[in-house]
Copies of this chain bind each other. A is one copy, B any other.
Amino acid sequence: VLDLSALEEEARARLDPGVYDFYAGGAGHELTLADNVAAWSSLRFRPRVLRDVGAVSMETTALGTQLSLPVLVAPVAHQRMVHPEGEIAMARGTAAAGSVMVVSTRSSTALEDVPAAAGDAPRWFQLYVLRDRGWTAELVDRAREAGYGAIVLTVDTPLLGRHLREVRDGFELPADFGMANAPMSTAARAATRYDVSARIEQAPDLTFADIGWLAERSRLPVVAKGVLRGDDAVSCLDAGATAVIVSNHGGRQLDGAVATAHALPDVVDAVAGRAEVYADGGIRGGTDVLRALALGARAVLVGRPALWGLATGGAEGVRAVLDHLRAELDLAMALSGTPDLAAVGPDLLVRTVP
């Protein structure tokens, strides 16, 4: 991997244009999609010199789970669309790199099949609370039983954002995609698929109270994904969440939502050390990871970069993307005089965040 932009071009060349657009695109006029990337880039470093960086360590933990680098793999739907081994390959590559994969509710592989095929590396499960709360409860139970270590609750998707690329492309999911986790047999699902579609739709009436229910039901840490405000982050924690992910869903939900880099400081300030704060959206290199850590993120998640790795090289491609980020972060840490993550703080950045 030379750099992630080049990798994306390579993936684009291999993928069906509609599939590429499905993943690469954002909501509306893609203001937030573009902002996510630009906002990290616009942050300038104040590197430190003459610190001993003969050994750089980026090991950390997320919810107590060991990470060889402060990067997790974000939940991405329907991964078999970009590679025949889909989530299995993503899981293998992620584990090989010493990271944690977040498996999506909209996985194209049943959540039990991922650990079965890819082994029992630490893995989290991303949950959409569905209109059918019974199915939702079943999903949660299955995730716990399958060994997932946390529930990543998506909180920014009461409705799906409107993706103009998909409308223009006339894009439709292949039949049966997005249902691998539905709690009934394929045959049964086929027989009732319109009804199923409705029932697996995200619940628009989710509130903070659901976090408490979820924590209780799952007996797992609940990570609220999609928070962009300090007050909401605190409300999530008060309601029982263990951690939050600052995210605008990769620019795929509310177009015009603040870039992650610009929202992160408010959330970090409000959370004030009570909990781990992660961030995703627009991370395109090791320096972006370092910027997020400097603003107070415990770790970041990458979605599209990992997906382009999957598209171009399967499990090996995923691993190569994570190793690329590791190498870039290692260099960035060395060049900013921060031999370990404890040394990374806000003074590494020029204050230009609005």
Contact = CB atoms under 8 A, between A and B. Distances in A.
A42 to B, nearest CB: 9
A41 interface: yes
A191 interface: no
Interface stretch (A13-21, A143-151, A327-335): A327-335
Interface stretch (A75-83, A200-208, A314-322): A200-208
A110 to B, nearest CB: 28
| Copies of this protein chain in the complex | 4
A232 B328 CA distance: 24
A256 interface: yes
B50 A206 contact: yes
13 contacts: A2-B164, A41-B256, A44-B256, A49-B232, A50-B155, A50-B206, A53-B158, A156-B335, A158-B335, A159-B335, A162-B328, A256-B291, A351-B354
Interface in A195-227: 203-208, 210-211, 224, 226-227
A175 B41 CA distance: 37
B49 A155 contact: yes
A258 B46 contact: yes
The 10 closest A-B pairs by CB, nearest first: A54-B205, A254-B335, A49-B155, A44-B258, A52-B205, A54-B204, A159-B334, A53-B158, A50-B208, A256-B287
Interface in A1-41: 2-3, 28-29, 31, 35, 41
A58 to B, nearest CB: 14
Contacts of A256: 41, 43-45, 287, 291
Contacts of A54: 158, 203-205
Contacts of A47: 156, 228-229, 248, 253-254, 257
